[in-house]
Amino acid sequence: MESADQTKLNIAPLAANTSLRTLAYDAIKKAITEMDMYGQDSEIRLDERQLSQDLGVSRTPIREALTVLEQEGFVRSVPRRGIFVVRKSKREIIEMIIVWAALESMAARLAADRATDRELAQLREVFHDFEESTPSEHMNEYSDANIRFHQTVIRLSGCSMIAEMTENLFIHIRGIRAVSVRQENRSERSMQEHRGIIAALVERNADLAERLVREHTLGLAAHVEKHGRFPS
Which domains are seen in the chain, by residue range?
20-85 (1.10.10.10), 90-227 (1.20.120.530)
Dihedral of CA atoms 149, 93, 221, 90 in degrees, nearest 10, equals 140
End-to-end CA distance of the chain: 11
State the pTM of this model: 0.76
Chain segment 72-119, per-residue pLDDT in tens: 888 999 998 999 999 888 899 899 999 999 999 999 999 999 999 999
On whether the CB atoms of residues 107 and 150 are closer than 8 A, the answer is no
On whether the CB atoms of residues 35 and 7 are closer than 8 A, the answer is yes
Choose among 203, 205, 202: nearest CA to 119: 202
83 forms beta bridges with: 46, 77
Chain segment 32-50, per-residue pLDDT in tens: 888 878 777 788 899 999 9
